[in-house]
Amino acid sequence: MQAIEANGTIDAQGRLSLDQPLVAHPGKVRVIVLLSDSEGTTPDGNGVDQTESSQQLPSLPPFLQFVEEISAQIPKEEWEKLPSDLSKNVDHYLYGSPKNEE
C-alpha 14/C-alpha 11 separation (Å) is 5
3-state secondary structure of 49: coil
Residues sharing a CB contact under 8 Å with residue 31, sequence separation 6 or more, in sequence order:
16
pLDDT tens digits, one per residue of 37-88: 765 544 445 444 444 444 454 555 678 888 888 888 999 999 899 999 999 9
Return d(Cα 42, Cα 38) in angstroms, integer: 8
Question: What is the predicted pLDDT for the residue at 24?
Answer: 77
What confidence score (pLDDT) does residue 57 get? 45
Taking the alpha carbons at both ends of the chain, their separation in whole angstroms is 47
Q: Helix H segments across the chain?
A: 63-71, 76-80, 90-95
Give backbone dihedrals phi and psi of 78, rounded to 5 degrees, phi first.
-70, -40
Q: pTM for this one? A: 0.34
Evaluate whether 82 touches 76 at the Cβ level (below 8 Å): no
